[in-house]
Amino acid sequence: MKTDFLIVGQGLAGSLLAWHFLDAGKRVLVVDRDEAETSSKVAAGLVTPLAGGRFHLPDGLEERLDFARSFYWKHEELSGEVFFHHRRIARLFRDALEAEVWKNRLDRESGRYARFHGPLQVDAERISAPWGGFEMREGGWLDVPAFLEYTRRVLLERVSYAIGQVDSREILTSASSIRWKNVEASHVVFCEGWRGGQNRFFDWVPVRPTPGDILDLEIAGLGDETRILNKGGWLIPLGDGRFRAGSTYRPVGATAEVSAIGRDEVLAKIALMTSLTPAVTGHRCAIRPTIRRSQVFMGRHPSEPRIAFFNGLGSKGVLNGPWHASRLADHLLSGAPLPAATDLLLHFH
Q: If DSSP codes are grouped into helix, strand and coil, which group holds residue 108?
A: helix
The DSSP symbol for 103 reads H
Give 202-221 pLDDT, tens digit per residue.
Answer: 999 998 888 889 999 999 99
Parts of the chain with a pLDDT under 50: none
Pairing of strands 307-311, 242-246: unpaired
- Residues forming beta bridges with residue 287, ordered by sequence position: 211
DSSP string, 277-293: PPEEEEEEEEEEEE-GG
Q: Domain ends where: 262, 290, 318? A: 290
In a domain, 124, yes or no: no
Residues 276 and 301 in one domain: no
Give 159-175 pLDDT, tens digit per residue.
Answer: 999 999 999 999 999 98
Residues 213 and 203 in one domain: no
Q: Domain ends where: 275, 290, 305? A: 290
| Strand ranges across the sheet with 140-142 | 46-47, 140-142, 84-86
Q: Domain ends where: 241, 264, 290? A: 290
Provide the number of structural domains found in the chain. Answer: 2
We report the CATH number of the domain holding residue 257 as: 3.30.9.10
Identity of the residue numbered 311? N
Pairing of strands 2-8, 171-173: unpaired
Domain limits at 181? 2-45+145-207+293-348
Q: What is the pLDDT of residue 254?
A: 63
Q: What is the pLDDT of residue 318?
A: 93
We report the CATH number of the domain holding residue 26 as: 3.50.50.60
Q: What is the pLDDT of residue 251?
A: 77
Q: What is the pLDDT of residue 160?
A: 97
Q: What is the pLDDT of residue 110?
A: 85
**Is-contact 318 68, C-beta < 8 A?**
yes
Residues 219 and 284 in one domain: yes
Residues 277 and 259 in one domain: yes
Pairing of strands 208-218, 279-290: antiparallel
Q: If DSSP codes are grouped into helix, strand and coil, which group holds residue 202?
A: coil
In a domain, 332, yes or no: yes
Q: What is the pLDDT of residue 41?
A: 72
Residues 200 and 297 in one domain: yes
Residues 298 and 203 in one domain: yes
In a domain, 203, yes or no: yes
Alpha-carbon distances of 132 from 65, 84, 92, 119, 228, rounded to whole Å: 26, 28, 6, 10, 16
